[in-house]
A = this chain, B = another copy of it.
């Protein structure tokens, strides 16, 4: 089935602001609460949230085999389970319904009343129930920076890094959508030159600029997904802020990896942009030397040119863009990550989420965390209000944005915006 929805010449009868992340060529999927307090699955064009549950009840998807309640759900998991052919058919059909030349909905005011909401009047929810969440560590620049700071500057990359898309398991229960504030965590840290840990709020709370992909049911337990098929099982992508408490991490992470330093919160953008929408923005990923083992080899363009940036907003609301990076810098591709994840037979389900790891670019203004931007606090980052940051302060808001752009089309992710609240003062 061709991806008709990607036609760059297509226009819609809905008003779309110039430079919107959500032209009719995007058609992402999300879950929202309507003004009537009803949860539904929807899409977005311009600044309109579109209720797919209502559209389906009104018969607009009658030619696609879908269960009656597929969009009347509080997560996208079942729709994602329906597989690529269904996602594509639904996205193409939405594109048709809102095409400027199509009058069927455009001229039906009562239907429009039921289907169209202003983004202001809906409340975005977590789009999927995330069964398992894995975070990779696939930016060579980031892994090198961390290795230079914490290990041996001469041998910054660990021996396994060029052979394995290194990853580890994270916690699903604290993944929250954009807009949900996050509290500075309490925990154990180890003072310099001491062997006695102390208890209190983390002093080194950081963002990590990441993206994450959402999978469909991909395999039976015990069966690997070949790298050549892996992309078929990826539904789409979101922006991902993997909050990190660097001082807690330092004390806890040897030998079993980060735990409380990460699992207090992770934040995602609420609209899942489909891999179909990103198709025009494929690019080569970095050349891999040494060549990976055969189960990880894949020719062709398997990375994506996605511009990324992070703003810090002070409590007074003054924004500063602290970094600009790009998803295409990732050394390991999503296809390789998914093939590696399942080579041992690990089962992947609909709604599972896999993070890229911090996406740092080659230059210091493209680093993906305060740890790197301030180089462990030695080079404070100047903000537009005159203040400085080594890490994130209480009541700062961190905003990640991402978009792809060609001459004719811009496909964006919107944003994931999260305010850091002060730590609890006492515990029960």
At the interface with chain B, which of A40-48, A84-92, A96-104, A183-191? A183-191
Q: Contact at A265–B221, with CB atoms within 8 Å?
A: yes
Q: How far is the CB of A373 from chain B (nearest CB, A)?
A: 21
Number of interface residues of A (CB under 8 A): 68
- Please encode chain A, from 92 to 130, with 1 for each CB lying within 8 Å of some chain B CB and 0 for all others: 000000000000000000000000000000000000000
Q: Contact at B166–A169, with CB atoms within 8 Å?
A: no
Contact of A222 among B137, B164, B183 (CB under 8 A): B183
- Please encode chain A, from 234 to 273, with 1 for each CB lying within 8 Å of some chain B CB and 0 for all others: 0000000000010010011111111110011100000000
Closest to A181 in B: B222
Q: Write out the residue numbers on chain B whose beta carbons fall within 8 Å of the beta carbon of A428.
A: 224, 226, 229
Q: Is A321 an interface residue (CB 8 A)?
A: no
Q: Contact at A344–B224, with CB atoms within 8 Å?
A: no
At the interface with chain B, which of A65-73, A170-178, A310-318? A170-178
Q: Contact at A173–B131, with CB atoms within 8 Å?
A: yes
Q: How far is the CB of A27 from chain B (nearest CB, A)?
A: 29
Q: Is A377 an interface residue (CB 8 A)?
A: no
Q: Contact at A343–B260, with CB atoms within 8 Å?
A: yes
Q: Contact at A173–B258, with CB atoms within 8 Å?
A: no
Q: Is A25 an interface residue (CB 8 A)?
A: no
At the interface with chain B, which of A53-61, A346-354, A379-387, A389-397? A346-354
In the assembly, what is the distance between CA of A70 and CA of B263, in Å? 31
A336-370 contacts to B, CB under 8 A, are 340-341, 343-349, 352
Q: Write out the residue numbers on chain B whose beta carbons fall within 8 Å of the beta carbon of A169.
A: 168-171, 257, 259, 263
Q: Contact at A158–B345, with CB atoms within 8 Å?
A: no
- Please encode chain A, from 151 to 180, with 1 for each CB lying within 8 Å of some chain B CB and 0 for all others: 000000011100110111111111010000
Q: Is A197 an interface residue (CB 8 A)?
A: yes
Closest to A166 in B: B256
In the assembly, what is the distance between CA of A254 and CA of B166, in Å? 9
Q: Write out the residue numbers on chain B whose beta carbons fall within 8 Å of the beta carbon of A195.
A: 159
In the assembly, what is the distance between CA of A224 and CA of B186, in Å? 9
In the assembly, what is the distance between CA of A195 and CA of B187, in Å? 38
Closest to A423 in B: B345
Contact of A221 among B167, B176, B186 (CB under 8 A): B176
Q: Contact at B257–A257, with CB atoms within 8 Å?
A: yes
Q: Is A13 an interface residue (CB 8 A)?
A: no
- Please encode chain A, from 397 to 428, with 1 for each CB lying within 8 Å of some chain B CB and 0 for all others: 00000000000000000000000010010011
Among A160, A187, A256, max chain B CB count under 10 A is at: A256
Q: Contact at B344–A248, with CB atoms within 8 Å?
A: yes
In the assembly, what is the distance between CA of A9 and CA of B196, in Å? 50
In the assembly, what is the distance between CA of A352 and CA of B409, in Å? 44
In the assembly, what is the distance between CA of A374 and CA of B421, in Å? 50
Q: Contact at B344–A160, with CB atoms within 8 Å?
A: no
Q: Is A293 an interface residue (CB 8 A)?
A: yes
Q: Contact at B187–A427, with CB atoms within 8 Å?
A: no
Q: How far is the CB of A348 from chain B (nearest CB, A)?
A: 7
Q: Contact at A258–B260, with CB atoms within 8 Å?
A: no
Q: Contact at B340–A260, with CB atoms within 8 Å?
A: yes
Q: Write out the residue numbers on chain B whose beta carbons fall within 8 Å of the beta carbon of A427.
A: 224, 226, 295, 343
Known contacts A346-B263, A428-B226; A256/B255 CB under 8 A: no
Q: Write out the residue numbers on chain B whose beta carbons fall within 8 Å of the beta carbon of A343.
A: 185-187, 260, 427
- List the 7 shortest-distance A-B pairs measured between CB atoms, nearest first: A257-B257, A185-B344, A169-B169, A168-B256, A183-B222, A264-B344, A256-B257
Given A168-B256, A197-B293, A260-B341; 7 other pairs, CB 8 A cutoff:
A131-B172, A166-B252, A169-B257, A173-B347, A245-B344, A260-B340, A260-B343
13 sampled A-B residue pairs with Cβ under 8 A = A160-B254, A163-B188, A164-B197, A168-B259, A169-B169, A173-B348, A199-B295, A222-B421, A223-B424, A245-B344, A257-B257, A260-B346, A264-B345
